[in-house]
Structure 1
Amino acid sequence: MDLSESGERQISWAARSMPVLTAIGERFALERPLDGLKIAACLHVTAETAVLMGALKAGGAEIALAASNPLSTQNDVAEALRVYGISVHARAGVDRAAYYRHIHQALDFGPDLVLDDGCDLVNILHTERTDLLEGVSGGCEETTTGIIRLRQMAAEDALRFPVVAVNDTRTKRMFDNRYGTGQSTLDGIMRATNTMLAGRTVVVAGFGYCGRGVAERAKGFGARVIVTEIDAVKALDATLQGYEVRPMAQAALIGDLFVTVTGNRDVIRAEHLSIMRDGAILANAGHFDVEIDVRALDELAGEVHRGVRPNTDEYVLPDGRRLLLLAEGRLVNLTAAEGHPAAVMDMSFSAQALAVAWLAGARLELAPGVYDVPEEIDHEVARLKLAATGIGIDVLTPDQEDYLHSWRVGS
């Protein structure tokens, strides 16, 4: 009970900074858009996620929750959710086998809808739990990595139900990916290492919304920022914003801190690790622990010192150079820190909640595939957030409306 009380305090604290999702939960309690539906979710088990679970439960849903990353699970929050009547299959620090077992347990009650963060739950449904597919009529995906996998499934006609790409809303990309990832990633790195960023060379692999946020925050701390990219347009964008752009083979020679934010694997490989400077720090802010080739790092190292600081392992190469790996190569912002601030997740999870309610009504009319969040939901979330923060905006006059909708009026 002490554990659940601690979790309840964490959830209440997060809810203070989540006024939009709280208001949506109150609305759901009256409208009950999810009555009779079972939802299986694979998300980070944190206080912010708990506020989302509360809103969905208020809307009438029965929920089973598994963790999308065992290192981000907050055990006290998980216990508080169990007391609240949500079935939680998660525990901090479990191994890979237990991680997948928990996802299977969340699926065991036969969901109508699924919520995913990385596409592992949806992947298991389509490979190992095909017996449940007929009952699943829709889902939502929270992160870029998962949407990449889902679009590939759809391209191969393998996806069996409609999935809403919650990550791809304008509010999510701006608020969560850019500002949330930027702040929480550096928060995790500094908690794990207590390093000073001013004057250091930070290499950011990937200049999407998340990578841009990390680069901006690092630059703000006074770091010299180098960007690596495979996309010519993004590389040009980074250059025009004043960042150095180099291939990883060059950046590896001069970087002090490396942050991978790509959604792909083997971004930092053996050939890069073997030439890095003594004391280089390696951190991943992409979804899965595949962006830094940890196996290659193990093979290169003559010895490994685990836990030289919390969430920091030291790999000593045969020539004496030391490389520091944070959070085992997993999400550094959720492992070494607390993830995005609650105010950020207020936006992301509000879009998620409204998308679930929309999907509950539209799912039987949708063919299998990946769908964008309806634009009106994105605008509603932004409008509610502005209202909650007391910010007003202008409204078009009738003449302005006419002008925008007429092709006959010129200069």
Structure 2
Amino acid sequence: MVDDTLLESGNQKIEWARNHMPVLSIIRDGFASEKPLKGCRIAMALHVEAKTAVLVETLASGGAEIAITGCNPLSTQDDVAAALDTRDNVSCYAKYNASRSEYYESINKVLDINPDITVDDGGDLIFTLHKTRQELLSGIKGGTEETTTGVYRLDSMSKDNALKMPVIAVNNAFTKYLFDNRYGTGQSTWDAINRTTNLLVAGKDVVVAGYGWCGRGCSMRAKGLGANVIVTEVNPVRALEARMDGYRVMTMDEAAKIGEIFITTTGNVSVLTRDHFKLMKDGVILANSGHFNVEMNLEELESMSKTVRTVRENIKEYHLGDRRIYLLADGRLVNLAAGDGHPAEVMDMSFSNQALCIRHLVDNDLDIDVHAVPPEIDTYIAELKLKALGIEIDELTTEQEKYMREWEHGT
């Protein structure tokens, strides 16, 4: 039997998030009256926390049967998972700190509903579907992917002709990545670092690896907290942009000697390695905001260490003999493993994209490929968000529309 205190805590978190997600609320009301997902079975692997629960409620209100688990071993909030599991037509298999075997066991339980639609954050659900549950592929109408890392994996599958289902790259919607990846990751990453370490940021040298939208957000918020920001990049255009935005840009070999806080946001492997750990100062802090815990080579860090101990919740000290390196949240997504994830107002847009793209998949037969979010969905969500914020914008006049269509005009 589930602890009533746990349920109360989960329900309170969900209520708070729901009250701050007005766009998804409008969509949920429409789903409740129209039932566009009636009879649809949806398998989900997402970060199981309060904002995700509001998305699940929205899909269930539209008539869907849902099975959900986590997409990261440390991002599930057990009270929210317990509350979700009490909802009609929802089965939740997520738990905090799941082992690798428990994690994939739960993924398979979710797939046991023989889904029509999949919803992924990072691609593990689709990966498992294609590797070990191929018998289910013929019944799949399509899927959605929430994050950059997952879209990378899907694009690779598509190029290798390994993808056997249509998937919508929700991450690539303007109303997702321009806000979720930038403002959401920026704020939630620093919220997690600050609440975990309780240390001053102002005056410190902060190294942000990667200047994609997540890296932009983390850099922007670090600057706002008074940090001296250093950006490392492999893309010359992004490196130039970071420099023009006012940050120092250098190689990680150089930055490793200077940095006091390191944040990885690349979605790639071995961004920080033995060679960098050797150069780091005593007391540096490592945090990861990429989806998987592979951006720092933790096996190399551990092999270099004389002792490893937990010195504070979500902080491990790796003692290298003459220096100490502190790792936050085991190198997992720091904003979710050591915090509450993105603000509800940002996830309002991201999960509205998810809900409307799922409906789009149900209503349409898409080719096997990685698809963009339909522009009309992006525009509709932006319009609803502006309305919720009480903001009105101009419209083109007839004369202006005509001018934009014509080409004869010159000086």
Scaled by the length of structure 2, the TM-score of the pair is 0.98
Question: Which residue does the alignment assign to 2:270?
Answer: 266
Residue 401 of structure 2 corresponds to residue 401 of structure 1: yes
Which is further off, 40-49 or 94-103?
94-103
Find the aligned partners of 1:175 and 1:32 in 2 and give their Cα distance.
Answer: 29
Contact kept, 8 Å, 2:204 with 2:260, in 1: the verdict is yes
Return the letter of the residue paired with 1:315.
Y
Separation in 2, partners of 1:137, 1:147: 18
**Letter of the structure 1 residue corresponding to residue 387 of structure 2:** A
Q: Percent identity?
A: 53
Give the C-alpha shift of residue 406 in structure 1: 1.2
Question: What aligned pairs does 1:201-216 form with structure 2 within 5 A after superposition?
Answer: 201-216=205-220
When the two chains are superposed, the root-mean-square deviation of aligned CA atoms in Å is 0.8
Q: Distance in 2 between matches of 1:196 and 1:210?
A: 22
How many angstroms does 1:178 deviate by? Answer: 0.3
> Cα distance, 1:202 vs. partner?
0.2
Report deviation, 1:236. 0.5
* Residue in structure 1 matched with residue 361 of structure 2 by the alignment: 359
Deviations 1:241-264 (A, max 9, x none): 111100000000010000000000
Count of aligned pairs: 407
Residue 186 of structure 1: how far off its partner (Å) = 0.6
Q: Which residue of 1 aligns with 2:377?
A: 377
Deviations 1:184-228 (A, max 9, x none): 001111111111110000000000000000000000111000000
- The separation in 1 between residues aligned to 2:375 and 2:248, in whole angstroms, is 35
In structure 2, the residue matched to 1:217 is 221
Q: Distance in 2 between matches of 1:131 and 1:358?
A: 24
Question: Where does 1:238-249 land on structure 2 (aligned, <5 Å)?
Answer: 238-249=242-253
Shift of 1:5: 2.1
What's 1:329 paired with? Answer: 331
Separation of aligned partners in 2, 1:100 and 1:190: 32
SS in 1 for 2:230: strand
Alignment of structure 1 residues 175-324 onto 2, 5 Å = 175-306=179-310, 308-318=311-321, 320-324=322-326
State the SS of the aligned residue for 2:66.
Answer: strand
3-state secondary structure, aligned to 2:395 = coil
2:56 corresponds to 1:53: yes
Structure 1 counterpart of 2:351, one-letter code: F
Deviation at 1:408, TM superposition (A): 2.1
Following the alignment from structure 2 to structure 1, what is the Cα–Cα distance between the partners of residues 306 and 205? 26
Residue aligned with 1:271, SS: helix
CA distance in 1: counterparts of 2:92 and 2:188, whole angstroms: 25
Equivalent-residue separation in structure 2 for 1:39 and 1:7 (angstroms):
22
Tell me by how many angstroms 1:131 deviates.
1.2
- Which position in structure 1 is the counterpart of 2:74? 71
Shift in Å at residue 289 of structure 1?
Answer: 0.4
Once residues 91 and 342 of structure 2 are traced to their aligned partners in structure 1, the CA distance between those partners, rounded to angstroms, is 24
CA distance in 1, matches of 2:162, 2:75: 30
Structure 2 residue identity aligned to 1:3? L
What is the CA deviation profile of residues 146-197 of structure 1, one whole-angstrom value per residue up to 9, with x for unaligned ones? 0000000000111001000000011111110000000000111111111111
Aligned equivalents of 1:70 and 1:11: distance in 2? 20
> Which of 5, 8, 18 is the equivalent residue of 2:8?
5
Q: What is the letter of the counterpart of residue 348 of structure 1? A: S
Give the Å deviation of 1:32: 1.2
The answer to whether residue 2 in structure 2 is matched with residue 14 in structure 1 is: no
Query: For the residues of structure 1 that align with 2:244 and 2:372, how far apart are their CA atoms?
Result: 30
- Equivalent residue number for residue 100 of structure 2: 96
Is contact 2:141-2:361 (8 Å) kept?
A: no
AA partner of residue 399 (structure 2): D
CA separation in 1, counterparts of 2:410 and 2:163?
47
Cα offsets for 1:39-83 (capped at 9, x unmatched): 000000001000000110111110000101121111111111111
1:94, distance to aligned residue in structure 2 (A):
1.4
Q: Structure 2: state its 5+ residue gaps.
A: none
Write the letter of the residue equivalent to 2:44: A
Distance 1:301 1:205 in 2: 23
1:368 counterpart residue number = 368
Alpha-carbon distance, 1:410 to partner: 2.9
Q: What amino acid sits opposite 1:17 in the alignment?
A: H
User: CA offsets per residue over residues 324-358 of structure 1, 9 Å max, x none?
Assistant: 00000000000111000111100100111111111
Q: Return the match for 1:43 from 42, 46, 58.
A: 46
Displacement after TM superposition at 1:409 (Å): 2.7
1:125 partner letter: L
Distance apart, 1:33 and its partner CA: 1.2
